[in-house]
Amino acid sequence: MNKLLMTLIVTLAFSVSVQAQGDIEAGKTKAVTCTACHGADGNSPSNLYPKLAGQHASYLEKQLQQFKNGERNEPIMLGMSASLSEQDIKDIAAYYTTQTTAPETVAAEIADAGQKLYMGGDLQRKIPACTACHGPRGNGLELAKFPKISSQHPAYLKAQLEKFRSKARNNDQNSMMTDIAAKLNDADIELLSKYISALH
């Protein structure tokens, strides 16, 4: 009896998780409207817009939902996300997460200088290490909805850190990024943006 019950529970849990996932092929079709800014495969040709390729599906879903409900204030994305259903969001996220992110490169001196702040933070200024949430390679944590930040355009990373610092962007969990970015100066942001982009 216990084995039968366990089998039913596992089967039900599996079917629920499958239903909750997006359809990659449907997402590819639906993402056609995203290509002008984000590229056909999610590698944006412009550093004004983020690369979506390889990003965690849970993070992409969260951002699209917050663009749609206005919690993340971006006028262009508000318009683009307004008509998306929950299934559309899951499908688009599923498609982009399967794509491969185009790598970025950085000069050796930037890599050496950035590694110290990224890996160890700055105890004196109470800046935590970025690795705590984003990992040593910038891959983030999907379950916690911490984004993959490696191989992202440096200019986009810089713009987001500046938005968190000024509180123009405030859709982060428990204001974590807002609090951290407030302690970063312009040189820190420039350095981290370039260093993080080359992680892979």
pLDDT tens-digit map of 5-35: 444 444 444 444 444 599 999 999 999 999 9
pLDDT tens-digit map of 137-186: 999 999 999 999 999 999 999 999 999 999 999 999 999 999 999 999 99
In angstroms, the CA 90 to CA 147 distance is 16
Indicate whether 42 pLDDT > 80.
Answer: yes
Summary mean pLDDT of the chain: 91
- Which residues are within 8 A (CB) of 11 and not within 5 positions of it... i.e. 6 or more apart? none
In a domain, 6, yes or no: no
In a domain, 4, yes or no: no
In a domain, 81, yes or no: yes
- DSSP conformational letter for 11: H
User: What is the per-residue pLDDT for 200?
Assistant: 81
Q: Is the domain of 176 the same as that of 120?
A: yes
- Which residues are within 8 A (CB) of 172 and not within 5 positions of it... i.e. 6 or more apart? 164, 178
Q: Tell me, what CATH number does 81's domain have?
A: 1.10.760.10
Q: Is the domain of 135 the same as that of 169?
A: yes
Q: Which domain holds residue 150?
A: 108-197
